[in-house]
Structure 1
């Protein structure tokens, strides 16, 4: 992969290697950002309440009634254990089931106490129980405070802080209706006794004591919450089979209060077990209800016939039937019972057929055994239809009405119903044939009865009715006892293997490590984005590589950042790295002069794009190194608009180039000596109104021809070429030109001006010098350049360069922080 990625812009590119180096240069930002992130993560973690997970283990068994026979069973089991497991998993997550659990535990009331950082769930830890008036609506979403004054007296209060008036929400937990009431919000405070009825504007009910000891003066809180929000919270219970296809289910629930989790898990299992048992006893319960209503009628009928029989015997002075009449009665009784049994079965079939043809839900189909029907195909078909219908109802709680499973269940019900109706028709035909035979036999016996005396005939009729009523009553009573026995013997298919319990473990959160990892990632990402934006949006020259990318003009060298207070860096610290960088420039200039065959006097022009890039600093120190080498050197200030060089040499700017060009003074008069050997200065003089015209005057030719005869080296400090054209006019007097670029100051777009003039040939023998260069990675430049130009420390060693004082790391960090935040 290339080190650089070129962006299709005229003046832009992205240096990946420089970007990586720059990231390391801003290490302090990463340290600060990560420390801030870690601090935030710590404050979040210490305020997080512990999270616990409590588990319970149950199994779904297909427990058949031990009294099950084909004749007595009033329950059915279709679908097997796997179907019950799926149904159980779905049921535990349904709203209806969780409503039952929340109602039983009254978890819509939240108990709280003051924790270290916030209020914490105090379920099972408070010495009281809130018993709301179920007929009244309660204020929800507001914490009421209880403070016990003694074991049976407490203060109940509610504060609204600075709220004056507004809507308050009240909830009726019986009708499940919520209403908003606009009210003036006034703080409430009153003293009550435990068990006393409280009729306050915000709470109606009683506060009861439990067995926990009272901590007098401690503040407790309770709050009524939205009912359905509470139910929805517990619908998130986790229900998972232990293994694929297993009938063992693992129930788990997460929360901040272990006792609350334990109670909910055990209660949800208890409620589900009761519901499953009730569904299992559904046939028996309905059968008992039907038989009880029939027994009442048969009891009245039997009593009425018995009274009629006794009254007849008394009135006619008859004690009993004769032997012949008794025999006929016995035979008639048997036939009547058989006829009633057949008729009862026919009635059941007719009722069942009508029920199947007219109903859409089949959960209330009467059991065949109630009518004494033992036909296995009928009993199994009825049981299957009931089971499928019940299964469909369960799925309706959690699935949409257009779910494919409903169509599948309906197809099974319809197929079973079709077969069942055919079996019913067949059975009815057989029973009707049997009924016709019995009736014929009864008619034959009734002919014999007519031959008996009148009193015997009437007595026989009454006893015949009595016997039928008594036998029917006994049959229903037997079925009633049978159904009661089956119901009592049934057990739920849900069995608890491992009851939910607080064993002292189960803490699963909060995940403080994740917060610290996130803090580390975010803390690193923020400064990374910051550095990326700095690099991506940076439009300034930062290193020689930027220059090479943007211009064909060669780089002569680099000059480091001076730490001296004046511009006389070479004279004040001749063995410093700055002095060596200027010596390197001098050597490079001599190489250029030799290559261009320039002999004798040398004239060097120094310019830049804009003001502030270090022209005067470079001109002064270039003149300094040439004078220190024994060359007779002249530094001439040709920036007539902003003269500067006089200040560093403690001379005045009263007389200079301007005075010469307007014929006020001679060259000798404007030339000033300095305190340094071989170095003279001509300042610019007073600021004229027409600097460009003066520099284009013929006297400039005379000035430079004269100066070249007197000096070995002439250094010209000129105006910025990007602002005015003065430097271009002076270029004809220069043997070489140095174009100053300042690191992290000169904008990349500024090079387009000098590039255009260079390509047109308007400037010649020009080279770039990168000024104010810091040999640091923050500018994406810590390699290749510097050593060859005299800036690198490693080239000379400690014995050759004057070591500059460096600030301690702590002071440097403080300095950077102040720079970032502009302190």
Structure 2
């Protein structure tokens, strides 16, 4: 039953002990809290709040008014929402931010030293560092610039113990780590003088109307290009309300001027890139036509020279009416041929656009202006519709889903059909051109009746006119493309440019950090208390004993405040002395209950050494002696004798000498300064202590002692270490098992409880030693009342309230009020 009680209680977490243990760590909590509050305070006063500025733009569907009616019907089938999403993605792209950072050289910072940190002054610096474009500049370290006067400055740096530093070329963006001869540098330069260092190349140039204060210190610092872009990308926010063309762009930074420049430059670059993209087809068309014009122009020049040479050589400048009529027919046929060739060119431009472009959400006017085939226009409309659907899905669906593969296959299929349609249309046009060429050939046969010179002249003129018409056609197409390019406007409209209007910093409540400081101090304390309580296997209060065992608790003895074990003798009015008197009373009650007359024997033992067994033995003997009873204290811990030191007596002879028959009882008995108290020490350490304690001489010793003394106190070895004490229990009328607070482990009680359960040990009780109210986490108040260590003793004992802490006195007063 007792064993079951122990196991059950060991499995229950003692929440009350956990709470009081945590409260006992209040000093550590206060220390951690002070440290945490100090750290938070230092962080708060060093906090540099940033600014946030914004700009607003709209995305509009600016169609070119010079597009044909056919084109305007199918241009940009995706609508304005597709453009808004495209612009939004461009603004969030890393490529866009790289252009902005490069444009403003934001990887180079100008700093001044503040109270706690270096402050970015951006363009407020009175000078500018002009770097050498091809050079590698040191990254991540501030370079100090201290002006001596308006014409000179001192440049210095300190890289600590570094032997190499990272450098970067901000044109190629290549990063290189370079070794340095010295980690420190200091040299004076003239303003405008070239600084030629392995890790820094450039010159300091003063700004116009800049005023230099001698002794003023600045810093320049290069940051890595990628890290600079990433920092702006993280603080750059673009928002758009659904179905709205309005975009709001925000940027957070510690320098307002930098925010203004960054936002406005970002919109400028976006506007430029969008317009360039919009003009790309016109540019491609112009380049294509220019190549054709160069070829046709060269051919036209040759034919013009040939015509003039023929006329000059043959002196032919006029032809008759018949020749004129035939020439008009040929000219008419050539005009028809020119129309077909114009359609052929349109199909070539359309094919070129399909082969070179990736976005088919819109088809510019020059592509389909000369195409009248309804089947071709229908295929173009289908491609635009599917491309627009794909563009919309890109903003709401992941890129790797199968729907995009399906849409791409549909577009590619339509393109292949369109290529075949273009090929068929071109073949048909070429057939028409061949038909016209046959007609021209028949007319030319009629020229055979004319004089040979006139025939040759007419042939040369026809070739010249044909080349001129082709040249005029290309010129007209180029003019159309130039006109489209010139008339294009950007789809980006800036509503509110970013500007400094006195915005304040983004201040936030930093007091919440003190809450985290409080939690940071509390949680480790609670965690430590929990872990110690959870894994704690020691006895901390008399209540623990009542939970762990059914063995009676005979008494509670307080913490010894004296220099030796003679607590009762040294301070007879102390709470400890009163506690031992209470133990004496309890023992007398036990003796009376069992009708014991004559000499009584008390055995004192414990689990292990150090639990106060000898201390209790000495003072129990002392209180019996002070009560006028003839008492003897017998040291039977033959392996580790102790009691002689407290009484200042020798241990040369003792119980061992009697047990081996070497000395008589009177010879081993020694008196003390206390009347009625004698001591028998253990004597020299024997080789066979267990055999001596179970010998017949031990029976003789007890019998002789009973004949001479009223009380016999046996100080025995710990039962948890040796079995000697168990052999002596038969001599004891009452046994005391000493348990020390915060020292004895719970599982050490298994042995004695098991012996008691089997009946091998009787009349045994616990004696709780070293009771300290501060160490019980609030337990055991009631025990102090009965054993002279609690509220009852206040004012009566020599060590009463004077030795108590303010916290314990406060607890006592609170309990009294209850």
Same fold (TM over 0.5): yes
Of 397, 413, 416, 1:415 maps to: 413
Q: Is the 8 A contact 2:56 2:246 kept in 1?
A: yes
The answer for unaligned runs of 5 or more in structure 1 is 813-823
Distance between the aligned counterparts of 1:460 and 1:140, measured in 2? 77
- 1:688 is aligned to 2:687: no
Could you tell which deviates more after superposition, 735-744 or 569-578?
569-578
Residues paired across the two proteins, number: 799
- Against the structure 1 CA distance between its residues 154 and 647, is the aligned structure 2 distance closer, same or farther, given a 3 Å change threshold? closer
Q: CA RMSD in A?
A: 4.7
* Residue matched to 1:15: 14
Alignment map for 1:680-719 (pairs within 5 Å): 680-685=676-681, 687-690=683-686, 701=699, 704-705=702-703, 708=706, 712-719=710-717
Matches of 1:8 and 1:324 in 2, distance apart? 134
Q: Structure 1 residues 398 and 40, CA, compared in 2 at 3 Å: closer, same or farther?
A: farther
| Structure-2 change in CA distance of 1:463 and 1:7 (3 Å) | farther
Deviation of 1:488 (Å): 2.5
How far residue 737 of structure 1 moved from its aligned partner, in angstroms, is 0.9
Helix, strand or coil: the match of 1:683? strand
Relative distance call for 1:456 and 1:371 in structure 2 (3 A) is farther
The secondary structure found in structure 2 opposite 1:252 is strand
Pairing 1:525–2:523 present: yes
Instruction: Indicate conservation of the 8 Å contact 2:109/2:221, yes or no.
Output: yes
Q: For the residues of structure 2 that align with 1:434 and 1:13, how far apart are their CA atoms?
A: 103
The question of 1:605 aligning with 2:592 is answered no
Query: Partners of 2:300 and 2:371 in 1: how far apart?
Result: 25
Question: In 2 relative to 1, CA 69–359 (structure 1 residues): closer, same or farther, beyond 3 Å?
Answer: closer
Residue 177 (structure 1) aligned with residue 174 (structure 2): yes
Instruction: Report the alpha carbon displacement of residue 683 of structure 1 after superposing the two structures with TM.
Output: 0.9
> What does residue range 271-286 of structure 1 map to in structure 2 within 5 Å?
271-286=269-284
**What is the match of residue 145 of structure 1?**
144
Return the offset for 1:414: 1.6
CA distance in 1, matches of 2:390, 2:170: 30
User: 1:289-368 maps to which residues of 2 (within 5 A)?
Assistant: 289-297=287-295, 329=327, 332-349=330-347, 352=350, 368=366
2:211 counterpart of 1:210: no
Report matched runs for 1:568-647 at 5 Å. 568-570=566-568, 576-599=574-597, 601-626=599-624, 632-639=629-636, 641=638
Report the Cα distance in structure 2 between the residues aligned to 1:456 and 1:504, rounded to whole angstroms.
87
Distance in 1, Cα, partners of 2:579 & 2:81: 87
1-structure distance, mates of 2:309, 2:644: 153
Partner of 2:813: none
8 Å Cα contact 1:147/1:219 also seen in 2: yes
DSSP-derived class of the 1:281 partner: helix
Indicate if the aligned counterparts of 2:78 and 2:388 stay in contact, CA closer than 8 A.
no
Which residue among 782, 786, 806 is the counterpart of 2:783?
786
Q: Find the aligned partners of 2:233 and 2:705 in 1 and give their Cα distance.
A: 98
CA contact (8 A) 2:5 2:548 kept: no
Q: Secondary structure at the match of 1:34?
A: helix
The aligned residue for residue 58 of structure 1 is 57
Output aligned runs, 1:116-131, within 5 Å. 116-131=115-130
Q: CA deviation at 1:704?
A: 4.6
1:376-775 to 2 correspondences below 5 Å:
378=376, 404=402, 406-421=404-419, 423-424=421-422, 427-428=425-426, 431=429, 435=433, 438-439=436-437, 442=440, 446=444, 471-505=469-503, 507-508=505-506, 512-513=510-511, 515-548=513-546, 550-570=548-568, 576-599=574-597, 601-626=599-624, 632-639=629-636, 641=638, 670=669, 672=671, 680-685=676-681, 687-690=683-686, 701=699, 704-705=702-703, 708=706, 712-775=710-773
CA distance in 2 between partners of 1:413 and 1:315 (Å) = 60
Flag the 1:735–1:91 CA change in 2: closer, same or farther, 3 A. Answer: same
- Contact kept, 8 Å, 2:670 with 2:680, in 1: the verdict is no
**Distance in 2 between residues matched to 1:569 and 1:248, nearest whole Å:** 90
Distance 1:391 1:133 in 2: 49
Q: Which residue of structure 2 aligns with residue 82 of structure 1? A: 81
1:114 corresponds to: 113
Residues 1:108 and 1:188: Cα distance change in structure 2 (over 3 Å): same
Q: Distance in 2 between matches of 1:626 and 1:686?
A: 21
CA displacement, residues 643-676 of structure 1 (integer Å, 9 cap, x when unaligned):
655666677878876787768666599474755x
- Contact 1:640/1:658 (CA < 8 Å) preserved in 2? no
Q: 2:196 aligns with which of 196, 199, 203?
A: 199
1:283–1:367 CA contact under 8 A, matched in 2: no
* 1:809–1:409 CA distance, 2 compared to 1 (3 A): farther
Deviation of 1:805 (Å): 0.6
Answer whether contact 2:143 2:155 (CA < 8 A) is retained.
yes
- The change in CA–CA distance for 1:58 and 1:555 in structure 2 (over 3 A counts) is farther
Is the 1:631–1:712 Cα contact (8 Å) retained in structure 2? no
Are the structure 2 counterparts of residues 633 and 412 from structure 1 closer, same or farther at C-alpha, using a change threshold of 3 Å?
A: farther
Please say if residues 71 and 368 of structure 2, whose CA atoms lie closer than 8 Å, have aligned partners that are also in contact.
no
Aligned CA distance change for structure 1 residues 689 and 300 (closer, same or farther; 3 Å): closer
Using the size of structure 1 for normalisation, the TM-score is 0.81
Q: CA deviation at 1:775?
A: 2.0
**Secondary structure of the structure 1 residue equivalent to 2:590:** helix
Deviates more, 1:319-328 or 1:714-723: 319-328
Aligned equivalents of 1:378, 1:506: Cα separation in 2: 60
> Contact between 2:138 and 2:200, CA under 8 Å: does it hold in 1?
yes
Q: Which residue of 2 aligns with 1:804?
A: 801
Q: What's the CA shift for 1:417?
A: 1.3
CA distance in 1 between partners of 2:762 and 2:331 (Å):
141
1:154 aligns with 2:150: no
CA deviation profile, 1:21-46 (whole Å, cap 9, x unmatched): 21122122222223223333334444
Per-residue deviation at 1:738? 0.8
TM superposition shift of 1:561: 1.6
Is the Cα–Cα contact under 8 Å of residues 735 and 763 in structure 2 kept in the other structure?
A: yes
